[in-house]
Structure 1
Amino acid sequence: MSEPRVAALRRRAVLVAALAALTVAVLGGLSTDIGAWYAGLRQPPWKPPDAWFGPAWTFIYACTAAAGALAWLRLREPRHDAARLGLLAAFAANGCLNVLWSLLFFRLRRPDWALLEVGALWLSILLLVVLVLRHSRLAAWLLLPYLVWVSFAATLNAAVVRLNGPFGAAAGSA
């Protein structure tokens, strides 16, 4: 492949990965309502300030986009079509699970359902790590902050459920 074609492919991979990460970030942000209901939840004393979550997610989305682009660029040959499609499907599923968590927790006000869903989100991140590791060690390393953050978020989610449950119509919070 000629150098101009490789450079164009690199730009396209970075642009697509950045747009995908931005889409997930915007949808997740639109799904997150830190209003009176959220403010009224009892939180564990070790919960970080709300202002930390935006920068943490920005960093994670940037790392995830970079990991996706790096792995994608390693799969540019036609013989890698199936692997490229699998990687794309795994990133798409992960993005959907990421947004779904926010919808469950903040919009539906069901931290208990979000706690169940976060297990699928965590597994999808682990799958991404395994898939990109086959093509780029750096890409796998770039996904580790995401895995660590979601592990922490799951622990925080569990604490919120324990401190505030039950949730739902029967509990008068839906």
Structure 2
Amino acid sequence: MRVTTLLITGVATAATAAIGGAATAPAVRSSWYAQLRKPAYQPPRQVFPVVWPALYADIAVVSAAAIDELGATGRDSERRAYRNGLALNLALNAAWSWLFFNRRRFGTATAVSAALTVSSADLTRRATDAIGGRAAPLALYPLWCAFATVLCGHIRQLNRRAEQS
């Protein structure tokens, strides 16, 4: 994998984390979030700052390897599709934080989380097609997103009155 490709995917995922974090950080410290009803299976707050950096690192590294492998083997249309899929995925990722934490639109956030799950599974499939087993760490991403979709939908159900119209 080329350093320049890793820098590009790394900056893209870091930007996604920063954009999402700008909505998330103030909200999770707020009384609004503390008062939200959450299901018993919601992970403790300390889990999220561990899981997300690991997922973002996996996205950056696996994507860089896949993009470079597709380019090196002359699979330019697949490379372009992977890049576009990655861009869409990161946009959905950042959008979810703003919809849930800033806009408090739990229904829309659940739909975006479901789309993010599908996008993450597609990205994992594309990476596996490109680099085989080296894409394995990325498989955790759609699993986490699927869990987040269920969690988000359950939070919506528990807090219908707290959701912005």
Correspondence for 1:45: 40
Three-state SS of the structure 1 residue aligned to 2:75 is helix
TM-score (norm 2): 0.90
Correspondence for 1:86: 81
Contact 1:31 1:99 in 2 (8 A): no
> What is the percentage of aligned positions where both structures have the same residue?
31
Correspondence for 1:3: none
Is residue 164 of structure 2 the alignment partner of residue 168 of structure 1?
Answer: yes
Correspondence for 1:26: 18
TM-score (norm 1): 0.86
RMSD: 1.5
Counterpart selection for 2:94 from 84, 95, 99: 99
Question: 1:12 is matched by which residue type in structure 2?
Answer: T
Counterpart selection for 1:146 from 134, 141, 150: 141
Give the superposition deviation at 1:96: 0.2
Query: What runs of 5+ residues in structure 2 fail to find an aligned partner?
Result: none
Give the superposition deviation at 1:140: 3.0
Counterpart selection for 2:64 from 59, 65, 69: 69
Structure 1 residues 35-90: Cα deviation after superposition (integer angstroms, max 9, x where no partner): 22111101112211112101100010011111101101212338332222111100
Q: Write the distance in 1 (CA, Å) between the matches of 2:72 and 2:39.
A: 50
Q: Write the distance in 2 (CA, Å) between the matches of 1:133 and 1:68.
A: 10
Give the superposition deviation at 1:119: 1.3
Structure 1 residues 102-146: Cα deviation after superposition (integer angstroms, max 9, x where no partner): 111001011121111111111101110121111112343121111
Query: What runs of 5+ residues in structure 1 fail to find an aligned partner?
Result: 1-8, 170-174
Correspondence for 2:106: 111
Bigger Rg, which one: 1
Contact 1:66 1:139 in 2 (8 A): no
Aligned length: 161
Correspondence for 1:130: 125
Contact 1:67 1:138 in 2 (8 A): no
Contact 1:71 1:139 in 2 (8 A): no
Contact 1:132 1:140 in 2 (8 A): yes
